[in-house]
């Protein structure tokens, strides 16, 4: 079984976020980048298939040379090969078109992507990839087993879970539940050294239109001042909640 894991290069959640050019572009200065958490759950699940069923695991990213450390980390975790599409990830459709070409050229049986990246939160790429490749699709996936060419997937739905079976090829939009946080792997020194020798192939992008454009970004309003009320003055607290906060 050939598996392709789609990797997004995203800011660490602890990074301080700023924008430039009139709040139209993300400021990358001083920002540390990591594997998108939803993708990391998928990569860890792919490693399970590699170890238990002998699957081969490739990772792919659409981005410039600055994303290669993130791909190298995926290789250090245990992926066999990395592919970087040499293009800026301008929007979801553009990224989906690039991934589709890689998938078609590689003949992958299973494609695992995060349900969304934590920077733009578009949540559209896995579904677009499935439509463009003609593969089956399971989104918000929290459990996945493969037996032969049959996949059994569990996905999160409103108020519960849904279990379904489908045939490969399959595209999965994964999230926490594919594995738990405690299952995530930290590259060890041996893995880091081996990653330096593993193939990282750079391919040029295919022609694709940009269907959407970010016009402006806006950060949340700063938190207001906090009023402290003595625990002995319950009446004042009730008064503030009723007349000022309008909470009761």
- What pTM was computed for the model? 0.86
Given this model, what pLDDT does residue 166 score?
96
Q: What is the pLDDT of residue 120?
A: 83
Identify the pLDDT of residue 24.
87
Q: Which of these, 43, 53, 45, 75, lies nearest to 1 by C-alpha position?
A: 53
Is the previous residue joined to 48 through a cis bond, with omega within 30 degrees of 0?
no
Q: What is the pLDDT of residue 4?
A: 98
64 is written with which tokens? Answer: 């410039």
Helix (H, G, I), strand (E, B) or coil at 235: helix
Work out the burial of residue 27: count CB atoms within 10 Å of its CB; fewer than 13 is exposed, 13-18 middle, 19 or more buried.
middle
Secondary structure class of 20 (helix, strand, coil): strand
| Cα 185 from Cα 182, distance rounded (Å) | 8
Q: Where are the domains of the chain?
A: 2-222
In angstroms, the CA 42 to CA 60 distance is 13
CATH for 2-222? 3.40.50.620
pLDDT of res. 56: 96
Helix residue ranges, H only, 89-209: 92-106, 125-133, 189-195
Per-residue confidence in pLDDT tens, the chain, 248 aa: 999 999 999 999 888 888 998 888 888 888 899 999 999 999 999 999 999 999 999 999 999 999 999 999 999 999 999 999 999 998 999 999 999 999 999 999 999 999 999 888 889 999 999 999 999 999 999 999 999 999 999 999 998 999 999 999 999 999 999 999 999 998 889 899 989 899 999 999 999 888 888 888 888 888 878 888 888 888 998 988 888 888 88
């Amino acid at each position: 079984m050939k598996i392709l894991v789609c990797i997004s290069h995203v800011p660490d959640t602890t990074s301080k976020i700023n924008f430039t050019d009139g709040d139209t572009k993300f400021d990358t200065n001083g920002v540390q980048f990591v594997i998108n958490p939803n993708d990391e759950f998928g990569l860890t699940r792919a490693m399970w298939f590699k170890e238990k069923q002998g699957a081969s695991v490739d990772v792919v990213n659409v981005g410039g040379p600055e994303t290669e450390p993130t791909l190298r980390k995926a290789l250090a975790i245990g992926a066999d090969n990395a592919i970087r599409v040499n293009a800026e990830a301008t929007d979801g459709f553009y990224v989906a078109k690039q991934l589709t070409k890689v998938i078609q050229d590689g003949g992958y049986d299973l494609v695992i992507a995060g349900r969304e990246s934590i920077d733009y939160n578009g949540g559209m790429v896995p579904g677009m990839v499935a439509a463009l490749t003609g593969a089956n699709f399971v989104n918000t996936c929290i459990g996945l087993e493969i037996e032969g060419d049959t996949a059994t997937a569990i996905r999160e739905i409103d108020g519960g879970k849904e279990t379904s079976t489908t045939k490969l090829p399959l595209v999965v939009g994964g999230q926490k539940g594919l594995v738990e946080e405690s299952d995530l792997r930290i590259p060890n020194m041996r893995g880091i050294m081996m990653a330096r020798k593993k193939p990282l192939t750079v391919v040029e992008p295919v022609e694709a239109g940009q269907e959407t454009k970010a016009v402006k970004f806006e950060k949340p309003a700063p938190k207001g001042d906090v009023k402290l009320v003595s625990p002995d003055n319950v009446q004042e607290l009730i008064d503030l909640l009723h007349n000022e906060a309008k909470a009761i």
